[in-house]
Amino acid sequence: MLTRPIPSSNEPLPILGLGTWQAFDISSERTALQQRKEVLRLLFAAGGKVIDASPMYGRAEAVVGGLLAELKAHERAFLATKVWTSGQLAGIEQMQASLAKLRTPVIDLMQIHNLVDWRTHLATLRKWQKEKQFRYIGITHYTDAALEELGNVIRAEPIDFVQCAYSIGARAAERRLLPLCAERGVGVIVNRPLGTGSLFAKVRGKPVPGWACEFGCASWSQIFLKYILGHPAVSCAIPATSRPDHMRDNLAAATGPLPNARERKRMAGYWDEV
């Protein structure tokens, strides 16, 4: 899998990871767990490592922690989760619970989910990062309306990562936020890179354009992901899935050539005309 350096450390990070919203919020039913276990196995086999969760995602953290223990794969994972509550004490308790659910003494990336009480939590995140319980810290949101506030935080505070929504169908982040992250040396994790499935509805029944083979795309999923991954400011995209066949398809976007600026412009133009 292709990698990009994390701006604050130059540590290489695989460009495609796994989101867990809804997909990993499941019961302990064994068949469902085995399916998610295979998704994780495929991620690691392809050279991926980023797994993103949150207390907001129900049982996702606990499911990920349990499956990583079964796979004996904690050392292969780059675990990202979030704090999603108000108040310092509540934040500390929630983050301690995340460490327990994920079954790890160290979380690679702790993020403030949807900027909830971010000023309060950022002080705690910095302290725990200094104490090496968190390797990196960041902020997140999923709406275009929050992009300006994300940018304001980046201008005011040194952080390692921002997570935002970005897709070929929702390109607002590339106007100001992504250039700002590149300028300030902030890594970018992209959520909703497939538009939570909405992108596929627009192209249902339409063949993949012939020019997509120029940068190794054999499916619409790969086109959508390569558009995102081709942006030089993007560190990693995290499409969520519970299906091994979708995981295989997604992973194929993280190898081979990525579209350059001219090709990405062509892709966006094609999308706008579909």
Domains present along the chain, CATH in parentheses:
12-203+233-255 (3.20.20.100)
Query: How far is Cα 224 from Cα 200, in angstroms, rounded to an integer?
Result: 9
Beta bridge partners of 163: 140, 189
**pLDDT on residue 196:** 84
pTM, to two decimals: 0.97
Dihedral angle computed from the Cα positions of residues 116, 122, 128 and 131, in that order, rounded to the nearest 10 degrees: 170
Query: How far is Cα 162 from Cα 271, in angstroms, rounded to an integer?
Result: 26
pLDDT in tens, 144-186: 999 999 999 999 999 999 999 999 999 999 999 999 999 999 9
For the chain, which residues score pLDDT lower than 50? Answer: none
**pLDDT on residue 47:** 98
**pLDDT on residue 220:** 97
Residue matched to tokens 């990196």 = 136
**pLDDT on residue 172:** 97
Query: How far is Cα 206 from Cα 190, in angstroms, rounded to an integer?
Result: 26
